[in-house]
Structure 1
Amino acid sequence: MVQVTVKLFATLRNNREKEMRMDLASGAAPKDIIDRLNIAQEEAAIIMINGRGAKLDTVLKDNDIVSIFPPVGGG
């Protein structure tokens, strides 16, 4: 079991907490957080663990901080 802090940004905060603690099974990855929060994978464009870029299948460690950002718009 690992416990992580999850931070959501911009439109991902709609109807969700902006920051939360989450208990996950050992071997869990950001993909598991996204699934649990009912976020479509294409909506989670940027994933960071402890301030560094990460992939959907990066294994999480206890006390990691996972930040999830939607696609960046603009022009």
Structure 2
Amino acid sequence: MEQIHVTIKLFAHFRNGRFKEANHPFAPGVDCRQIILGLGLGLGEVGIVMVNGQHASLDQRLKEQDTLALFPLVGGG
């Protein structure tokens, strides 16, 4: 089965019990939403999604050697 390899970078508390940066294989056509949910993150927890340093939508499909960076919502006041 064909696979693509995507580097995932997690920030702040998303790293707790997970990883800071890792390269994972996925089926071609995987999108940001599928990866986020696969990591056990809620879509409402994610503040910023970036692919290769550019803001991305949840529906953006990833390609071989893309880097997906996920930042949580930041609360405060």
Instruction: Tell whether 2:49 aligns with 1:40.
Output: no
Structure 1: state its 5+ residue gaps.
Answer: none
State the Cα RMSD in Å: 0.9
Amino acid of the structure 2 residue aligned with 1:22: H
Match of 1:66 in 2: 68
Alpha-carbon deviation of 1:40?
A: 0.6
Alpha-carbon deviation of 1:73?
A: 2.5
Which of structure 1's runs of 4+ aligned residues deviate more than 4 A?
none
Q: Report percent identity of matched pairs.
A: 44
Give 3-state SS (helix, strand or coil) of 1:17's partner.
Answer: coil
Structure 2: state its 5+ residue gaps.
Answer: none
- Whole-angstrom distance in 2 between the partners of 1:56 and 1:63: 18
TM-score by length of structure 2 reads 0.91
Match of 1:27 in 2: 29
Q: How many residues of Structure 1 are paired with residues of Structure 2 in the alignment?
A: 75
Alpha-carbon deviation of 1:74?
A: 3.0
Instruction: Tell whether 2:2 aligns with 1:8.
Output: no
Structure number with bigger Rg: 2
- Whole-angstrom distance in 1 between the partners of 2:46 and 2:25: 20
Amino acid of the structure 2 residue aligned with 1:7: K
1:2-41 alpha-carbon deviations (Å, 9 max, x no partner): 1000000001111111111111111101111111110011
